[in-house]
Structure 1
Amino acid sequence: MPAPEDDLALLERAARDAGQIALRYWRKHPRAWDKADDAGPVTEADLAVNDALHDLLMGARPEYGWLSEESEADPSRLDAGHCFIIDPIDGTRAFIDGQDHFAHSLAVAKGDRIVAAAVYLPVRDLCYSAFADGPALMNGQAIAPSKADIDGARVLTYRAATDATHWRGGVTPPFQRDFRPSLAWRLCLAGQGRFDAALSLRAVWEWDIAAGSLIAERAGASVTDRRGARMRFNSPRAMIDGLIVAGPHLHEQLLGALAP
């Protein structure tokens, strides 16, 4: 089997190829429609990127499983020793709106652990990457989380997560809420220390966070689900019970402040 660093080199190349495809459609009014079951929007660019990534990645690693937001579920992935976990365009609404905050999120799971990851923002030419036991990098430079305290921390999350009912004693901690459309990028920004934490109290799809979770973890952040448990990937449901990503001290504070 290829080493994690070899898988990472493949993911980085694939992510940059994906960026070139996405930019052919960006701000050019791509066809877009809503998926069934209120699963959100999709565009012709999402599908074009997904097809190209599938051809490249599965062509290079035909023995790996495949899990992607834009592919039909394939239960054979559960029996594969390794599995690609892919979000072709993370932040599709931002992409449709012509914003530059969308990303390509690519990861490899070995068993239930992520061992290689790349998150690429093509408009900004930002590439975050990590492999198991290696450093977390942004365009080749090492990144690390902040050492912030919860008081005044800059937390990337959605508005409803600040509702007092989610917090112990009905009191929302005094952090500052910010937001970015791409969930994968939010995890990277927390790992980079550009923001202090990323938080979701809702279940999240594996393809949204697989790559970012390893990048933040290898940067030195604590990365868990909303209950403080280790994340396990390539699961039958392909979902994680929320997330808390922050430097160890802030992670402990956020976890302790949440309502049981």
Structure 2
Amino acid sequence: MPEDDLALLIRAAREAGRIALRYWKRNPRVWDKGDEGPVTEADHAVNDALIRTLRAARPGYGWLSEETPDDADRLSREAVFILDPIDGTRAFIAGEDSFSHSLAVAHRGRVTAGVVFLPALDRMFAATADGAATLNGAGLQASAIGGTEGANILTPAANMKPEFWPGGVPEVKRSFRASVAYRLALVGQGRFDGMLSFRQGWEWDIAAGSLIAARAGAAVTDRHGKALRFNAPVPKADGLIAAAPALHRALLDRLTPPAA
């Protein structure tokens, strides 16, 4: 029986993890990509392995990866791989264990399969568009918190500045993890009530995690409450909010200027 997309992504993610761990805590070579931050020889090695595994298995799929020059050919494909070989590269360089591999397949703009794998922790988050979100095979359930009171949010400290919140800064507990994909997966797991970003987010950082959070029961949109679409000519989302549905609505209310 042919391997389905999710099984293929899981297999590829585990291979990526084995490669990444060969470099982790071993002073890999590092380059600076300017505004896009650092990249290591591990990022390139993982990307090369993913090209071999995924493109060989699905030659008709398009390709969008942080570590591969973009090719407009993907825009003509019904299906496309969207991936970040190592999300949280700064954490990887620092020897922290919260880096991840974020791998997804999107069909006609909609993510249909995705995995976020943390090899140093052996945590495999996975989901399909018509199935449950899982962690190492066990089902996930996002938070059902009723609003901002007592909510624990994953977001950088800068996002809590008053200028971002015309409706008033919400009183929430703030936490942080380096990998955007992992933040989304943690929302799906219910360990955090939500996550938000006001920066434009690359599709490769959010495709897999957004599906995992949504299939676990979280509401996931851009910063304005609009649905996410993938494989865009400029592959970025205008910010990101993933949270328990009631919390998501409350955050959007605070982001909207009060009526005159």
Query: What TM-score does the superposition give when structure 1 sets the normalisation length?
Result: 0.96
Per-residue displacement from partner, 1:167-211 (whole Å, max 9, x unpaired)? Answer: 124x21101110000000000101111000010011100000000
Amino acid at match of 2:90: R
**RMSD of aligned residue pairs (Cα, Å):** 1.0
Q: Is the 8 A contact 1:156 1:199 kept in 2?
A: yes
Q: Which residue, 155, 161, 164 being the options, matches 1:163?
A: 161
Indicate the residue corresponding to 2:67 in structure 1: 70
Give the Cα separation in 2 of the matches to 1:248 and 1:41. 35
Partner of 2:85: 88
Which residue in 2 is equivalent to 1:150?
A: 148
Residue identity matched to 1:59? A
Q: Provide the C-alpha distance between the structure 2 equivalents of 1:144 and 1:250, rounded to a whole number of angstroms.
A: 15
Q: In structure 2, what is the equivalent of residue 47 of structure 1?
A: 44
Instruction: Name stretches of at least 5 consecutive residues in structure 2 with no aligned partner.
Output: none
CA distance in 2, matches of 1:174, 1:147: 18
Give me the whole-angstrom Cα distance separating, in 2, the residues matched to 1:251 and 1:116.
23
- Count residues with an aligned counterpart: 255
Q: Write out aligned runs for 1:22-41 (5 A).
A: 22-36=20-34, 38-41=35-38
Q: Write the distance in 1 (CA, Å) between the matches of 2:253 and 2:48.
A: 43
Give the aligned partner of residue 242 of structure 1: 239
Q: What is the rounded CA distance, in whole Å, between the counterparts of 2:210 and 2:12 in structure 1?
A: 19
The structure 1 segments of at least 4 consecutive aligned residues displaced by more than 2 Å after TM superposition are none
Equivalence for 1:128: 125
Give the equivalent residue in structure 1 for 2:14. Answer: 16
2:11 counterpart letter in structure 1: R
Tell whether 2:250 aligns with 1:214. no
- 3-state DSSP of counterpart to 2:4: helix
SS at match of 1:130: strand
Tell me the distance in 2 between the aligned counterparts of 1:247 and 1:196.
6
**Alignment partners' CA distance in 2, 1:191 and 1:224:** 14
Matching residue of 2:189 = 192
Note the C-alpha offset of 1:135: 0.3
2:112 aligned partner: 115
Q: Letter of the aligned partner of 1:221 in structure 2? A: A
Q: Secondary structure at the match of 2:199?
A: coil
Deviations 1:222-260 (A, max 9, x none): 010001010000000000001110111111111111144
Task: Give identity over the alignment, percent.
Answer: 59
TM-score (norm 2): 0.96
